[in-house]
Structure 1
Amino acid sequence: MPVQVVTVALLIILTVYLIRKFIKLFFDKTSFLDEKHEETLMHFANQVTKVLGLIIFLIYVLSHFFDLTKFVTGSVVVAGSLALIFQHIIRDYIMGLTYLFERQIHLGDYVIINGNRQGKIEEISMRYLKIRQYDGYLYTVSYSSITELQNGNRGKRRVNESLVLNYRQNPDRAFKVMEEVAQICNEKYGEYLLKDENGIPLESFKFNQITELNVDFRGHRYSISGLVNEADFVEAGKKVRYELAMAAYKSDLMMSESLSTIQ
């Protein structure tokens, strides 16, 4: 039996290797998909073949100890219970396939997840994304927890920065300060804006008013956005964040507080 198990394991490893080589060769010989989408599909295929290979190996090993036919046919209730237990994992897989085949995300894309996590996609697995944030931390998010996804690589790059202000902050005063910040950004950082053939910005920095209420039970979100050049996206975001922080300091805006601070 140990010899058979090792032999089957080696055959599975060889099969997975050949499948991956075939997929890579197929993409190398064809050109109906763009390079970034091919790279994403290759990465996802590597994840799938690894998991399938492991499952097949486990089934083979278990078949030496159980009658799998009787076990499977007599375990409908167990399977249903497991499906309920692992419903979030199943949902992750389904949503991952949806994001992939609808071409909503690719490796290397700059994305904003749920409005508060942003960075570059470094890994796309069957259940989650790994995003390298601007502070250097690697953020892992499951597909089922994604409620909002903004992709900055889908044609245009939009800087979208915000302040979460306290409930007790007067909105009229906050509106005035944010409008001034948008004007300052247009005057100081206009060279970052994406322009048409006549040199006119496609979308200047603008105040989007209150974009979200009751943010984590702490306050309201006031945001500023603008279309910028791809190469200037990171730098433009830093500049806008600086102007927002400076405006909050000078105007003494009431920032949101954590629940622990309030208590």
Structure 2
Amino acid sequence: MFYLGMFQEPVKILTVALLIILTVYLIRKSIKLFFDKTNLLDVKREETLIHFANQVTKVLGLLFFFIYVLSHFFELARLFTGSVVVVGALALIFQHIIRDYIMGLTYLFERQIHHGDYVIINGNRQGKIEEISMRHLKIRQHDGYLYTVSYSSITELQNGNRGRRRVTESLVLNYRQNPDDAFKVMEAVAQTCNEKYAEYLLKDENDVPVERFKFNQITELNVDYRGHQYSLSGLVKEEDFVEAGKKVRYELAMAAYENDLLMAESFNTSH
């Protein structure tokens, strides 16, 4: 009898764990089967919802399992209400978690993001979305690093419309650079890009570019206390976004070299 009592609780816990795993599997399978049998949404939207549902079921499954295990060793009501310090700490923790969940649901159901989208986060992180979870995004950057960002820390999210991307590249030039000379060079670069890379531009139904490469003049002053930013942009096809960006950067670098433009330099540069 002693041995039976000793193994009874572990068997119960293992049984509950297996039931939770089976339930999660069936829910995921049902969701995937539903989307496979229907055409209510586009493929990219379906992939995003399936990916998100997998994350939600995983978290909920773990949560239910831990609650069940804790209920066998503690009186949960006394544990959570008996200490003001514990309650206060949990309130602070869950405040950020709940905010992440709410913002994540907002991004998802307002269709601001999709699995596989190319995004720019807070102006300094950019790449393709590889994972959409309940609390964060994971994007694969061009350098190969996987960047994780919680929804509550996102202050700015840029996402090109499906089928189109706006290439925006710039030069930061020294204060001593004559703006009139820089304007002439940048206008020439925009014209060169329109002539050499017209195949990258997004076309309308009449095969006319929706937005050609154009010089946007001075887009920012006093960049990091080093100089002024001159930029150009153009609307390109989604599949050509990366390649078009490389070509535009090359033309800017070559123009800066050939015309002896004064590039901004860091005050911390040591020689």
Change (3 A) 1:58 1:217: farther
Change (3 A) 1:15 1:63: same
Tell me which residue corresponds to 2:3. Answer: none
Residues 87-112 of structure 1, C-alpha deviations (whole Å, 9 max, x = no match)? 44433222211111111111111222
Percentage identity across paired residues of the two chains: 83
- The answer to whether the aligner puts 1:31 opposite 2:19 as a matched pair is no
Rounded Cα–Cα distance in structure 2 between residues aligned with 1:252 and 1:92? 48
Tell me which residue corresponds to 1:182. Answer: 190
Residues 118-143 of structure 1, C-alpha deviations (whole Å, 9 max, x = no match)? 32222112222222223333332322
Tell me which residue corresponds to 2:4. Answer: none
Unpaired runs of 5+ in structure 1? none
Q: What's the TM-score, normalizing by structure 2?
A: 0.84
Tell me which residue corresponds to 2:243. Answer: 235
Bigger mean CA offset, 31-40 vs 165-174: 165-174
Contact 1:109–1:153 under 8 Å retained in 2: no
Contact 1:118–1:133 under 8 Å retained in 2: yes
Bigger mean CA offset, 7-16 vs 66-75: 66-75
Change (3 A) 1:218 1:113: farther
SS in 2 for 1:103: coil
Tell me which residue corresponds to 2:6. Answer: none
Matches within 5 A, 1:1-263: 1-74=9-82, 78-85=86-93, 87-166=95-174, 169-213=177-221, 215=223, 219-257=227-265, 260-261=268-269
Bigger mean CA offset, 87-96 vs 197-206: 87-96
Contact 2:223–2:229 under 8 Å retained in 1: yes
Rounded Cα–Cα distance in structure 1 between residues aligned with 2:99 and 2:15? 35
Change (3 A) 1:167 1:97: farther
Aligned length: 263
SS in 2 for 1:64: helix
Contact 2:162–2:238 under 8 Å retained in 1: no
Change (3 A) 1:37 1:71: same
Q: CA deviation at 1:54?
A: 0.9
Change (3 A) 1:231 1:181: same
Q: CA deviation at 1:196?
A: 2.6
